[in-house]
């Protein structure tokens, strides 16, 4: 890519208007930390103003009954939709702004108005099922954006890579029968929400285009690098997507209060370099990252900085493949993924 990349950013104070009970980890202050990292690079980013997703965009993914239930709940706000998930007086409007921004950022990258982009949105989306809110999530932003890219921009195949520390059950269920969207997830396991075991590999025509990499607690930069280089990269090269969207949670950071992984800011930099390299190699650089979880302010700040540094780098270069020590728990994870998916992805046979 010649010259400085054109990197889009979605950031808006209205995303802080989704306000829940005191002490809830999915809180507006998360975006203060993200904004610190954005402000440090402010002039080099292209700002996109968010607008609300339309019902048509939302209903490509969600059941009409879900949208109706959210609208009813908004009349009674503040309410809890499940033990973890709240809806405040402005929450539905903010969720629609999150989904709409995800759509617009993805469409701008598809049209090459931007090279890449990051949407600093909340509430997160990947736990939201087609017919219900779940796990802090009201609307499934990444799923809505992926369907918009296919419906409005003529994109054929999409890779959704979910490195949030939780499994994106809602995204998996949205696309598990659809081979045109490959959902690949790294997540702590066993852990909330309970889905995402190795054998969940898609269904029907979509068999093989769901790739789960459940990881034991305690994994850090070395383990995530091994998975990125030895699973995600060969899977992406075999699949050959036209667009890559990342469900970009920062809750695998070592400071995160909800999870027990050990990624550093440098680990998020490595993951970002791998996905940017894959996007340039496979799909003309088309790459969008959408914020999901992340509950330590330090993790949000370091993760956002890492992502933006890599997106803004005119030439991040290729990473050398890191060695994996035989017999370690990460080697066992790689072996299990290989057992399930070697027949689906030719590149995995070389693990």
Closest by alpha carbon to 112, among 55, 147, 153? 153
Which residue has tokens 């829940």?
Answer: 20
CB of 228 to Zn ion, least distance (A): 18
Which of 147, 166, 230, 301 touches Zn ion by CB under 5 A? 166
Q: In angstroms, rounded to a whole number, what is the distance separating the alpha carbons of residues 92 and 251?
A: 24
Active-site residues: which are they? Answer: 127
Backbone angles phi, psi at 116, to 5 degrees: -150, 180
Q: Judge contact between 106 and 145, C-beta under 8 A.
A: yes
Q: CB nearer to Zn ion: give 285 or 293.
A: 293
Stretch that binds Zn ion, among 114-122, 144-152, 157-165, 320-328 (CB under 5 A): 157-165
Residue 293 binds to Zn ion (criterion: CB under 5 A): yes
CB of 249 to Zn ion, least distance (A): 4
Site string for Zn ion, 236-255 (x = CB under 5 A): -------------x-x----
Q: Judge contact between 289 and 248, C-beta under 8 A.
A: yes
Kindly determine how many residues on this chain lie close enough to bind Zn ion according to the rule CB under 5 A.
Answer: 5
Site string for Zn ion, 212-241 (x = CB under 5 A): ------------------------------
CB of 166 to Zn ion, least distance (A): 4
Q: Judge contact between 213 and 346, C-beta under 8 A.
A: no
Q: In angstroms, rounded to a whole number, what is the distance separating the alpha carbons of residues 65 and 112?
A: 35
- Residues whose CB is less than 8 angstroms from the CB of residue 208 and which lie 6 or more positions away in sequence, other chains included: 179, 201, 202, 341, 343, 344, 345
When CB distances to Zn ion are compared, the closest residue is 293
Q: CB nearer to Zn ion: give 25 or 208.
A: 25
Summarize as ranges the residues that interact with Zn ion (CB under 5 A): 164, 166, 249, 251, 293
């Amino acid at each position: 890519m010649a010259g400085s990349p054109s990197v889009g950013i979605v950031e808006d104070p209205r995303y802080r208007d989704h306000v829940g009970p005191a002490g809830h980890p999915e809180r507006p202050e998360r975006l203060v930390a993200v904004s610190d990292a954005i402000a440090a690079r402010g002039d080099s980013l292209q700002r996109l103003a968010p607008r609300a997703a339309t019902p048509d965009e939302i209903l490509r993914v969600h059941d009409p009954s879900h949208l109706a239930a959210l609208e009813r709940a908004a009349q009674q706000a503040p309410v809890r939709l499940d033990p973890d998930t709240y809806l405040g007086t402005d929450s539905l409007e903010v969720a629609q702004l999150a989904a709409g921004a995800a759509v617009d950022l993805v469409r701008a990258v598809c049209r090459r108005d931007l090279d890449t982009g990051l949407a600093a949105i909340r509430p997160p989306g990947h736990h939201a099922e087609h017919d219900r809110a779940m796990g802090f999530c009201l609307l499934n932003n990444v799923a809505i954006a992926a369907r918009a890219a296919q419906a409005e921009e003529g994109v054929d195949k999409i890779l959704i890579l979910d490195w949030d520390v939780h499994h994106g059950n809602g995204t998996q269920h949205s696309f598990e029968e659809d081979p045109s969207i490959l959902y690949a997830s790294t997540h702590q396991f066993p852990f909330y929400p309970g889905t995402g075991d190795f054998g969940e590999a898609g269904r029907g025509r979509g068999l093989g285009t769901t790739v789960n990499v459940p990881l034991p607690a305690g994994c850090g930069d070395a383990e995530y690098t091994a998975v990125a280089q030895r699973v995600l990269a060969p899977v992406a090269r075999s699949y050959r997507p036209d667009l890559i969207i990342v469900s970009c949670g920062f809750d695998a950071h070592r400071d995160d209060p909800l999870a027990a992984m050990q990624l550093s800011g440098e680990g998020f930099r490595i993951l970002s370099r791998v996905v940017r390299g894959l996007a340039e190699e496979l799909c003309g650089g088309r790459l969008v990252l959408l914020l999901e979880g992340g509950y330590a302010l330090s993790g949000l700040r370091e993760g956002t900085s890492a992502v933006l540094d890599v997106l803004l780098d005119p030439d991040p270069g290729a990473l050398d493949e890191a060695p994996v020590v035989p017999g370690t728990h990460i080697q066992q994870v790689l072996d299990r993924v290989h057992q399930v998916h070697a027949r689906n992805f030719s590149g995995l046979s070389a693990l």
